[in-house]
Amino acid sequence: MINYFNIKPLNFTESELDEFSRYIGLPLYNEDKEAILKYNGFRKALAIINKHSFYALNYFPDNPESK
């Protein structure tokens, strides 16, 4: 069983967000990038997606240092 409260949000940079934007084919505007980098909700959702291995959005690795 996965305890969603123990899942840490992913950490990534603005350049990685630009790359992700190109990957999904949707533009991320500066306001969007600032909100994503500032608040944990979106980054935690990506971490949960990675835990479940949903391949459609599985872009960011669990351990970004292992790139």
Read off the pTM: 0.54
Instruction: Give 3-state DSSP helix, strand, coil % of the chain, rounded to 5.
Output: 60, 0, 40
The ranges assigned to domains in the chain are 11-56
Q: 9-66: per-residue pLDDT in tens?
A: 888 888 988 888 888 888 989 998 898 888 888 888 878 877 776 554 545 555 555 4
- Residue-level pLDDT at 31: 92
Angle between helices 14-24 and 30-38 (to 10 degrees): 120
- Residue-level pLDDT at 3: 79
Smallest CA-to-CA distance from 62 within 40, 46, 38, 42 is with 46
- Residue-level pLDDT at 56: 47
